[in-house]
Structure 1
C-alpha cells in the first residue's frame, strides 16, 4: 500500500475524525487517519447502555492507572481512555456540553488570541445537527453530529430535576445556551437511539473516499524529524514496524495522554527529563506533559427499594427481560440510557458569579464497593470541581511507559469546593421529591458529617470524571507547546488538535470542545492566513 500521504492524523477520536473529514473533502490531497484501537462495530459500543461495560474493557479501553496520588491516600486512579475508532467518544456517556462562554474568553486573555467565545461559537455550530429546536443563536442544525434529548429518560431523572428546583436551582433546558446554571436533562450525541461517536458522525459516512486511508490497530512509536520538519512517523501494526511519510503536515490527535507520550518518545519535550528517560532530545520544549488538569469527582450513593430505578431485582425482572425488545422495536427502555441523563451546574458558597460544580445524576445504584453491577436498586449523584486549581503532569517512566500524575487536591481550594459540592448533592437528595423512594446513604454514609470528615472521606474515594486536558497547552508563554494556530513550537509542519492544547480545563464534559478544536485545526490548515480564520 501507499506509505506516503499529504496529511498524517494520529488518533481517530473526537478531534481527529473531524479533521480527517474536512481535509479529505479536497480530492486533491491524500489523508491517512491512524488509530491504535480497532473497530467500533460492537453492540457494547453502539448501544447507549453498553457504555458501563467499556471503561474496564481490555478491548476498548487503554485502562491507564495514575501514579499514587499523595493527597488521595496514595491511591492509583483508574483512567480509561477510548481505544477504538472514535476514541473516547466511543466509550463516553455521550453528553453534549460546551462549557461556559467565559472558559474560552479566559483562553484568549491567557495568550490565545482568536479563541474567545465569539470566535469558537461558529465552529461549535458548524459540526452540530441540533434536533431539539434550540436557539439558532447558539446551535447549528446542519452539522454531522446529531444532538438530541435522551430517548427514554428514567423517571428518577425528573425527580432529581424537581428536587433541584425545590432547592432553588433553576430548570435549564439548554446547558449550551445563554447560561450553564441549573438542573435538567443533558443533550446527548445519539442517532436513532444509538451512540453517535465522532467516528460514526464524521468518518463512517465518507469512509469510501479514495483519498482517505483509515488504519486501525496501529500504535505510533515516534515521529521522524529532519531538522525543523517532521517527515513521517514509525508505527507498529500486527507486531510489524512500518514507516509512513508526510509531504505536508502531521497532526497529533491522540488526546491529553497520547499526544504528549508520542512527543516525549520522539525526543520533543523537557531536555533534562528526556535525558533521564534515555531519549535523545530533538526539540527542547519544557511544557510537554505539564499542566495536566482534570475534574475531580465525589460520589453520594443511596440504596433504595424502588424498582423504578435501574437495577437488577425480582421486581425489575419483567422490565429487564423486556428491554432488548423495547430497544429493538421501539427505541425505548433501559438499553437507551447513558446512566447520566440528568444533571446540572451550581454555585457553592465558595463560588463567584459562575457555577463551580457540575452534577451527574445516576438513576441506579452506584456500587459503594466499586463493582460494575450490584444486586438491587438506588440512585447517586456525582459532583465534580469545574475549575480545579491543582495541576499535574504526564512523563516517561520505566521502559518509556506513560506515567500519569494528576496531583489532585494539591491546592486546598479544590478540596473545599468538592466538599461543598457533596454537601449540595446531599441537600438535593434530602428534598421531599425523593421521599417515596428514599433509602440508606451508603457513601459517604451517615457517619460522615463535618467538613473535615467529608474531606477525609474524599481522600479515600474521590476519582476522576475522565476529562484530562492541558498537557500540550496552547499559548505564547515559555511553557506553551503549541501556538494559537496549534503549531508545535520549533517545528514547521507538526500540529496538535485535541484536549491536550487546552490551557485551562473547560466547565463541563470535553467531547464537544474537542470536536470544535478539530474544526478549528482544519480551518488553520485549509485557510492559512496571517490572522485567525473566521467563519459565518
Structure 2
C-alpha cells in the first residue's frame, strides 16, 4: 500500500496532536497522523481523578520498565507511557506547568537560537485558554484549557499559611512575576470538568478536515530513507506492512523513548550499537538516545494527626455519588486532582532558580475505596515527596533488538551524580521543617518514611537508593543544540538528514523545572511555524516582566529574589 502525503506525523501524543491540527489547517496540505495505540474515548480517561487507574492500565500504556538501575540497588522502575490518542497527555496527572524563565534562557545559551524565554512566552500564551484571562503572561483563546485545582477537601490553606513561618514565599502565579514559592496547582481540564488532553483540545476539532488522515493501531517500523532524505515511513497495520510517503517532511513525535528508538531502527544513531544488532548505519549519530533526563522522586510520607485525608472521599457510597455527579455536571471531587499545594522552592539560598518541587497530596498513594463494616479502612496519611527539578544525572536509551515491536532498553541512571543525593537530602530536611511548622504541624502525625530516626548521610542515601522513583517526565534523547554533535538543530531538523524532524520532549536539551507536558505542547506550537516556514511570533522581553522583592509575599532566606542570567 503506497500513499503520499505532504507531512507524516509519527505519534499522536502531546506534540503530534498539536501538529496534526496546525499543519492540517492549510487545506492544501495533506497530513497523515500515525498512532500505535487506539482511541482515547473512555470514562477513566475523561474523568480527571480516573488517571490514577488509567495510568497503569495496559490498555492505555506502553508497559515500559527501566533496566536495572545501577545506583538504585539494581531496581527496575516502571515508566509507562501513553499508547492512545493524546499519548501521555491522555493518562497523566494533568498538572500544568511551564518551567522557570531561566530554563528557556539556558536553552538559548546552549546554542538553541529562538528558544529563550522571550521567544517561547508568546507560544505558551497562544496555546492557553487560562482561567486567569488574557494578560502579560497568559492567553485566553488557545485550545488548551487550564483550570485551578478545586482545593475543597484538600487541606490547601494550612500549607499556604505555613509557608512564611517555614521561610518560604507564596505566589499567586508560578508563571507570572514570582516564579517560586507555595502556590495552588493548575490542571489541563476543561470548564466541563473533563480532561483537556491534546487529543481533545487539538485533534478532535480537526478530525472533520478532509486533508487530515488519522491511522490508529499502526506501529511504525522505520523511516524510509532515500540517501540522506526521509521519504516516508513503513508501518504494520491490520496485519499488513504498508508504506506511506512524504512529499515534504516526516516528523517524529514518539517521545523521549520511542523517537530515538525509531531513529536507531532507521539506521540513524550510534553506528557501533546499530551494527551489533544487524542494522546497517545510515548516519553515525552517537548522541541519539543519550542525554536522557528525568525528575527523581523521593517518597516522604506522614500519618495524619486528624482523620482528614482524602480517604474520607473514598468511602464506597461517596465514590458512587461523586462519579455520578461528575458524569452529570462535571463537578465534584472527582473533577479535579488530589493536590494540596504546589511548592516550587530552592534547596539553597544561592541558587538562581528553584531546584525542588514538593508533591504535597492529602492522601496516601495506595488509597483504596472502602466499605464501612467490611474489612479495615486504611490509615489516614499524606504525601510530601521530594522532586528534583534539575538533576545532574543523565541516562540513555538503546535498542534491545532490531524488531520494532520490542520495547527499547532504558537506563534512567538517576543518582549517578553525587550532587543529586545532596539535593535530595536537603529536600527531605526541608519537607520535615515544613510539615512540623504550624499550622501544618497540627495535621502532621508520625513520619512513616523515611522515618524521623533516619538523619545521617549514609542512612538517607541508603533510603534513597531503595525507594526513589521518577515522575514520568523523560526528556533529552534527541536534543537540539547549536553543536554539530547535537541530534537536532534549533529548527528541530535531524542533523544530516533532509526532510526529517523530531518534535516532542526528546528535543529538550535540559529538563525544565516543571511537569513536562506543557513545555512539550509549546514546542509543538512553535514547531508548526518552523515547519510551515512562517515568521515566529514576536518575542516578548522577559526583562520587563522580571520579579522584584516587593511582588513576593513572605520572606525567605531560602528563596532569594530571582537572578536572571544574561544571554550568551
TM-based fold match above 0.5: yes
**What are the within-5 Å matches in structure 2 for residues 152-167 of structure 1?**
152-167=151-166
- In the TM superposition, residue 156 of structure 1 has moved relative to its aligned partner by 1.6
Is the partner of 2:170 in helix, strand or coil?
coil
- In the TM superposition, residue 2 of structure 1 has moved relative to its aligned partner by 7.4
Q: What is the CA–CA distance in structure 2 between the aligned matches of 1:169 and 1:332, rounded to whole Å?
A: 32
1:245–1:377 distance in 2 versus 1, CA, 3 Å: same
Is the partner of 1:223 in helix, strand or coil?
strand
1:172 equivalent in structure 2: 171
Q: TM-score, normalised by structure 1?
A: 0.94
**What are the within-5 Å matches in structure 2 for residues 438-449 of structure 1?**
438-449=444-455
1:297–1:350 distance in 2 versus 1, CA, 3 Å: farther
Structure 1 stretches of 5 or more lacking a match? none
Does structure 1 residue 326 correspond to structure 2 residue 325?
yes
Q: What is the CA–CA distance in structure 1 between the aligned matches of 2:392 and 2:112, rounded to whole Å?
A: 19
2:415 equivalent in structure 1: 409
- In the TM superposition, residue 96 of structure 1 has moved relative to its aligned partner by 1.2
1:214 equivalent in structure 2: 214
Q: What is the CA–CA distance in structure 1 between the aligned matches of 2:340 and 2:224, rounded to whole Å?
A: 44
Q: What is the CA–CA distance in structure 1 between the aligned matches of 2:101 and 2:11, rounded to whole Å?
A: 27
Q: What is the CA–CA distance in structure 1 between the aligned matches of 2:152 and 2:81, rounded to whole Å?
A: 26
Query: Are the aligned partners of 1:365 and 1:374 in contact in 2 as well (CA < 8 Å)?
Result: no
Query: Are the aligned partners of 2:132 and 2:138 in contact in 1 as well (CA < 8 Å)?
Result: no
Q: What is the CA–CA distance in structure 1 between the aligned matches of 2:4 and 2:152, rounded to whole Å?
A: 48
For structure 1, which segment, 279-288 or 325-334, has the greater mean C-alpha deviation from structure 2 after superposition? 325-334
1:84 equivalent in structure 2: 84
Query: Are the aligned partners of 1:151 and 1:193 in contact in 2 as well (CA < 8 Å)?
Result: no
**What are the within-5 Å matches in structure 2 for residues 123-142 of structure 1?**
123-133=123-133, 136-142=135-141
Query: Are the aligned partners of 1:146 and 1:196 in contact in 2 as well (CA < 8 Å)?
Result: yes
Which string of whole-angstrom CA distances, capped at 9 and with x for unpartnered residues, describes residues 249-268 of structure 1?
A: 01001101110000001110
**What are the within-5 Å matches in structure 2 for residues 84-483 of structure 1?**
84-133=84-133, 136-191=135-190, 192-304=192-304, 306-311=306-311, 316=315, 319-340=318-339, 342-349=341-348, 352-367=351-366, 375-398=378-401, 400=403, 401=406, 402-483=408-489
Which string of whole-angstrom CA distances, capped at 9 and with x for unpartnered residues, describes residues 177-222 of structure 1?
A: 1232101111111011111001110111221111011111111111
Q: What is the CA–CA distance in structure 2 between the aligned matches of 1:164 and 1:54, rounded to whole Å?
A: 33
1:92–1:368 distance in 2 versus 1, CA, 3 Å: closer
Structure 2 stretches of 5 or more lacking a match? 369-375, 541-568
For structure 1, which segment, 439-448 or 176-185, has the greater mean C-alpha deviation from structure 2 after superposition? 439-448
Q: What is the CA–CA distance in structure 2 between the aligned matches of 1:277 and 1:250, rounded to whole Å?
A: 24
Q: What is the CA–CA distance in structure 2 between the aligned matches of 1:374 and 1:406, rounded to whole Å?
A: 36
- In the TM superposition, residue 534 of structure 1 has moved relative to its aligned partner by 4.2
Query: Are the aligned partners of 1:100 and 1:179 in contact in 2 as well (CA < 8 Å)?
Result: no
Query: Are the aligned partners of 2:298 and 2:385 in contact in 1 as well (CA < 8 Å)?
Result: yes
- In the TM superposition, residue 336 of structure 1 has moved relative to its aligned partner by 1.9
Query: Are the aligned partners of 1:256 and 1:471 in contact in 2 as well (CA < 8 Å)?
Result: yes
1:154–1:411 distance in 2 versus 1, CA, 3 Å: same
For structure 1, which segment, 89-98 or 440-449, has the greater mean C-alpha deviation from structure 2 after superposition? 440-449
- In the TM superposition, residue 330 of structure 1 has moved relative to its aligned partner by 4.5
Query: Are the aligned partners of 2:2 and 2:242 in contact in 1 as well (CA < 8 Å)?
Result: no
Query: Are the aligned partners of 1:231 and 1:245 in contact in 2 as well (CA < 8 Å)?
Result: yes
Q: What is the CA–CA distance in structure 2 between the aligned matches of 1:321 and 1:152, rounded to whole Å?
A: 20
Query: Are the aligned partners of 1:162 and 1:433 in contact in 2 as well (CA < 8 Å)?
Result: yes
Question: What root-mean-square deviation, in Å, do the aligned CA atoms of Structure 1 and Structure 2 show?
Answer: 2.2
- In the TM superposition, residue 317 of structure 1 has moved relative to its aligned partner by 5.1
Q: What is the CA–CA distance in structure 2 between the aligned matches of 1:41 and 1:79, rounded to whole Å?
A: 23
1:239–1:421 distance in 2 versus 1, CA, 3 Å: farther
Q: What is the CA–CA distance in structure 2 between the aligned matches of 1:229 and 1:487, rounded to whole Å?
A: 12
Which string of whole-angstrom CA distances, capped at 9 and with x for unpartnered residues, describes residues 278-314 of structure 1?
A: 2110111111001101111111112337443222699
Q: TM-score, normalised by structure 2?
A: 0.89
- In the TM superposition, residue 327 of structure 1 has moved relative to its aligned partner by 2.2
Query: Are the aligned partners of 2:12 and 2:35 in contact in 1 as well (CA < 8 Å)?
Result: yes
- In the TM superposition, residue 498 of structure 1 has moved relative to its aligned partner by 0.5
For structure 1, which segment, 435-444 or 388-397, has the greater mean C-alpha deviation from structure 2 after superposition? 435-444
Q: What is the CA–CA distance in structure 2 between the aligned matches of 1:153 and 1:345, rounded to whole Å?
A: 21
1:153–1:288 distance in 2 versus 1, CA, 3 Å: farther
Q: What is the CA–CA distance in structure 1 between the aligned matches of 2:179 and 2:67, rounded to whole Å?
A: 33
2:548 equivalent in structure 1: none
- In the TM superposition, residue 235 of structure 1 has moved relative to its aligned partner by 0.9
Query: Are the aligned partners of 1:93 and 1:338 in contact in 2 as well (CA < 8 Å)?
Result: yes
1:330–1:210 distance in 2 versus 1, CA, 3 Å: closer
- In the TM superposition, residue 398 of structure 1 has moved relative to its aligned partner by 4.0
Is the partner of 2:425 in helix, strand or coil?
helix
